[in-house]
Amino acid sequence: MTDLATPATHVWPPADSTPFVDHPGLLQAHWVGAVAVITLTRPAKRNAMNDPLVHALKSTFEHMPAQAVAAVIHGQGDHFCAGLDLSELQERDAVEGLHHSRMWHTALNAIEYGRVPVVAALHGAVVGGGIELASACHIRVADDSAFFALPEGTRGIFVGGGGSVRIPRLIGASRMADMMFTGRVYNATDAERLGLCHYKVDAGGALAKAIELAQRIGQNAPMTNYALMHALPRIADQTADHGLFTESLIAAITENAPIAKERIRAFLEGRAAKVRAS
Ligand code: 1HE
């Protein structure tokens, strides 16, 4: 595992580092400690997602090495992701379109419901399928260059990568509909205010902040991270009665882990950090 210095900008990966996953011209993955940094490497096409890139993402997350504690996704060049590769859309019929959308669902589910929490580092265009990809991640960091749009509305199509399920959970169906009806573009400040992203940083700082957060998340008890990724969203979809029951089950399992017992003991013995106002 190569422990690379935290990058200051989205100029990444360093030329002298070796990826542990390499799909040439599509995607690479490098280690920063135990954080897997996944880079979309199609900058000439603004990291637009063609089918091979969707497959590469799915494979990378399905085969995430056991030593990974968290992951980061970002895009090479000036943009995070320009969404679906529109050049692939021209000749597709309805049945092929259905299967294509389901392929995106499988790939983005592999991110959302994978082994490790994923932080998206967003800059430049985060549009169409780019927002769908970002919304499948667990935490989103946007820098001041980021802009968010759903141009599907003006292109005569609809979202197909899970956007109609995930985006309303972040900003509400009504705001999503406005983005698609009117072609509205939000900047990073808007995005933070609306809940499209959790953190906003200066231009060029998204990747470094995302890695910092991923390293911190990776220090959590694994079962806590698992519960946040796999139980919390499902509880949110359940009735209150079922949700409370599921919560009790996952709480009991989580607090039974040796690492939880040790961390509680450390606090009670004055060995753990207190919560302080920020
Ligand atoms: C593309 C794509 C793409 C760029 N598919 N080729 N997404 C969109 O509707 C967004 C379309 N893209 C743009 O609005 C702009 O390209 C950007 C704002 C992202 C960047 O602008 P810019 O000036 O930096 O780059 P560019 O000159 O527009 O593009 C550079 C090249 O990338 C150019 O190709 P070239 O061969 O002429 O050099 C572009 O054609 C190409 N390119 N974006 C294909 N998206 C699961 S359903 C999801 C549905 C959607 O995502 S729909 C939204 C699609």
- Asked if 262 is an active-site residue, the reply is no
**3-state class (DSSP) for residue 193:** helix
pLDDT given for residue 6 in this prediction: 52
Q: pLDDT band for position 108 (50/70/90)?
A: very high
Query: Is ligand 1 within 6 A of the CB of residue 150?
Result: no
Ligand 1 atom 32 nearest Cα: 45
Of 193, 163, 157, 192, residue with least CA distance to 176: 163
For the segment 175-193, the average pLDDT, to the nearest whole number, is 97
Query: Is ligand 1 within 6 A of the CB of residue 46?
Result: yes
Query: Is ligand 1 within 6 A of the CB of residue 127?
Result: yes
Distance between CA 230 and CA 250 in Å, rounded? 10
Q: Which residue has the tokens 């011209």?
A: 25
For the segment 119-124, the average pLDDT, to the nearest whole number, is 98
pLDDT given for residue 162 in this prediction: 98
Residue 2 has pLDDT above 50, yes or no: no
In this structure, the answer to whether residues 250 and 211 fall within a common structural domain is no
What percent of the chain stands above pLDDT 70? 96
In this structure, the answer to whether residues 130 and 86 fall within a common structural domain is yes
- Asked if 152 is an active-site residue, the reply is yes
Query: Is ligand 1 within 6 A of the CB of residue 238?
Result: no
Q: Report the domain count for the chain.
A: 2
Q: Residues 88, 91, 132, 212: which is the catalytic one?
A: 132
In this structure, the answer to whether residues 133 and 165 fall within a common structural domain is yes
Residue-number span of the structural domain to which 227 is assigned: 222-268
Please report, for the domain that includes residue 240, its CATH number. 1.10.12.10
- Distance spanning both ends of the chain, measured CA to CA: 34
Q: Residue 45 carries which DSSP code? A: G
pLDDT per position as a tens digit, 10-62: 567 777 789 999 999 999 999 999 999 999 999 999 999 999 999 999 999 99
For the segment 149-162, the average pLDDT, to the nearest whole number, is 95
